[in-house]
Structure 1
Amino acid sequence: MAVPKKHTSISKKRIRKNIWKRKGYWAALKALSLAKSLSTNNSKSFFVRQIKNQTVE
């Protein structure tokens, strides 16, 4: 015989949702910080190969 499942409380659901949102916020913040450091050439932990433009005459 089927037994109905217990429902998750609203507060528990809200806590889980906020944790999930917070993870996305921190990931976006880190990505933005890395992009800023790369654009200003101040990156200490990420190396980008610089390609010099050569003109063909």
Structure 2
Amino acid sequence: MAVPKKKTSNTKRDQRKAHWKRKAALEAQKALSLGKSILTGRSNSFVYPQEEEESENEE
């Protein structure tokens, strides 16, 4: 027979939510930091394609 599960305590629920939000906040902070470093040109850990400048003298 099916047995109902025990109720999760409010403390446990709040702990899980706080942990999830903290992980999200840390990832957002990392993304912002990476974006700033890319804009300033100091990024060493992020590889992205750069547009090649085409000169008109090649034709």
Could you state the TM-score of these two structures normalised by the residue count of structure 2?
A: 0.77
Unaligned runs of 5+ in 1: none
Structure 2, unpaired ranges of 5+: none
What is the aligned length? 57
How high is the sequence identity, in percent, across the aligned residues? 50
Higher helix share: 2
Within 5 Å, give how 1:1-57 maps onto structure 2: 1-54=1-54
Computed over aligned residues only, the root mean square deviation of the Cα atoms, in angstroms, reads 1.9
Task: Look up the SS of the partner of 1:45 in the other structure.
Answer: coil
Cα deviation code 1:17-37 (max 9, x no counterpart):
000001100110000000000
Q: Return the TM-score normalized by structure 1.
A: 0.79
